[in-house]
Structure formats: structure tokens, C-alpha cells
């Protein structure tokens, strides 16, 4: 399947395709996990853990003007976009948790867990 998406020109190489499917799968997993046990801080922590390293490595390669098939400006843009998505999901779930706490009359609605 990975080779098919590369041959269809959806991704530059197999590494990008694998990274895309892994990160989307991880985001979906976190969303499902968040819907049941409300560990809201695991969302941004996981996003930062997964996406900061590729951004730093891609920036290093781009600033040194090295040639790399893996670390490109697209890598920076995609990983920054995914960090943004993790932030959106985190704040959305945090808002949902506060709303739910207010509905049940909890006096300590600032705590997301």
C-alpha cells in the first residue's frame, strides 16, 4: 500500500507516507482514548514528543543547505500542521470537559481530569 501511494505521487517517498499514516493513526488513537479515560494532557504531550524532533532535524538540514530526501521544507510544514492539530484537539477537549463539569454542577471546573 505504501508503494502505491508513492507511485500515485501522493507522497515524495515511502518514509513520508509511513510517517503520515503513523501520525494520523496516533491522532485517531488519542482521540478515541480521550473519549473514554479523560487524560487530556496526553494529547499535547504526545504531539510534542512525536513531531518536534522531525521539525528540529528538518530545520537543521534546511539551514545548513544539506541535501536530504527525508528532511525537507514540506517536513517542517507537515509536522508544524500536525502540532497545530494536536493543539486544536487538546483545547477542544479541554473546553468540552469544562462544559461537562459545569453541567453537573462541579465547583472545581478548572481541573480537566
pLDDT score, position 105:
57
Contacts 24+ apart (CB under 8 A), 21-25: 23/50, 23/51, 23/82
pTM for this model (two decimals)? 0.60
Is residue 108 situated within a structural domain?
no
pLDDT score, position 40:
66
Domain membership of residue 20 as a residue range? 2-103
Report in angstroms the alpha-carbon separations of 102 from 30, 41, 82, 105, 112: 24, 20, 30, 5, 12
Q: In this predicted model, what pLDDT tens digit does every residue of 11-64 receive, in sequence order?
A: 888 778 878 888 887 787 777 776 766 666 767 777 777 778 788 888 888 899
Is residue 51 situated within a structural domain?
yes
Domains contained in the chain, number = 1
- Residue 95 pLDDT > 70: yes
Rounded to 10 degrees, what is the CA torsion of 57, 60, 66, 71? 30
Angle between helices 14-35 and 73-103 (to 10 degrees): 10
Q: How far is residue 1's CA from residue 9's CA, in Å, rounded to a whole number?
A: 13
pLDDT score, position 81:
93
Is residue 110 situated within a structural domain?
no
Amino acid at each position: 500500500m505504501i508503494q502505491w501511494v508513492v507511485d500515485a505521487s501522493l507522497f515524495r517517498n515511502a518514509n513520508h507516507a509511513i510517517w503520515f499514516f503513523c501520525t494520523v493513526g496516533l491522532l485517531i488513537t488519542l482521540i478515541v482514548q480521550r473519549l473514554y479515560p479523560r487524560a487530556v494532557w496526553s494529547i499535547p504531550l504526545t504531539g510534542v514528543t512525536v513531531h518536534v524532533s522531525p521539525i528540529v532535524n528538518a530545520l537543521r538540514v534546511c539551514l545548513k543547505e544539506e541535501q536530504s530526501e527525508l528532511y525537507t521544507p514540506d517536513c517542517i510544514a507537515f509536522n508544524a500542521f500536525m502540532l497545530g492539530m494536536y493543539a486544536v484537539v487538546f483545547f477542544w477537549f479541554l473546553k468540552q470537559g469544562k462544559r461537562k463539569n459545569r453541567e453537573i454542577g462541579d465547583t472545581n471546573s478548572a481541573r480537566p481530569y
